[in-house]
Structure 1
């Protein structure tokens, strides 16, 4: 199973989605290289895909897809940061989490956001985030 770093970028009450050309929208992220940790991959992928250099990722959980294991991180972005599509990414879009079901997304993106919205210990919108139980457990059930 491939290992992937997936980043939920949050700015105010929206999350960031990216797309490659005419493909589905997804959360930023990509394959973890052999020489790097999941958080290092998250930092590298976010820079490569959006130009956003961010420190302070919070590990949320692992999500098991059909062929990939997603190491999911949260990054709170200040209002002044604006993503710029680069590398294989053609567009970036801010969207409210509850609206993810209204756009064509990858299955893991849809399910990861659904877990975040539905989990009582994770608040996806500002002002507060309580990740204590999720990060202590380290994992939510694979969907």
Structure 2
């Protein structure tokens, strides 16, 4: 099973998704290198894919896909952060959680967003919390 660091970036009730050229939308992230802690992978991948550096990130949960175990983090983005598609990423955009179900998005992305939304459904807003 592959291990992946996956990042939920939430700002004003919307979730950041990225996509490569002619690919489905997905949460930012990437494979964890053998000697790299998952949080370091999450920070590195977010910066490589969007140019955004985060000061705070919390481990949220694990999500098992078909062949990948996602270590999911929630990132507290600076208010002035403006994600830009970098490297292999062709597009990045903020989506309301309700929009993601109807997007051409990866199965794990839909599942992770659904779990996240259900976990914070009783909260007043989508604010990253330490677990």
TM-score above 0.5, yes or no: yes
Q: CA deviation at 1:11?
A: 1.1
**Are the counterparts in 2 of residues 26 and 105 from structure 1 also a CA contact under 8 Å?**
yes
Distance 1:87 1:124 in 2: 35
Q: CA deviation at 1:78?
A: 2.6
Structure 2: gaps spanning 5 or more residues: none
Corresponding position of 2:48: 48
Corresponding position of 1:36: 36
Displacement over 3 Å in runs of 4+: 120-126, 128-131
Could you list the per-position Cα deviations for residues 50-72 of structure 1 after superposition, in whole angstroms to 9, with x for gaps in the alignment? Answer: 00111211100000111100000
Corresponding position of 1:73: 73
Structure holding more strand per residue: 2
Alignment root-mean-square deviation, CA: 1.8
Secondary structure of the residue that 2:46 maps to in structure 1?
helix
Structure 1: gaps spanning 5 or more residues: 136-143
User: Per the alignment, do residues 113 and 28 of structure 1 end up closer, same or farther by CA in structure 2, a change over 3 Å counting?
Assistant: same
TM-score normalised by L of structure 2: 0.92
TM-score normalised by L of structure 1: 0.85
Q: List aligned pairs for 1:1-143, cutoff 5 A.
A: 1-119=1-119, 123=123, 125-126=125-126, 128=127, 135=131
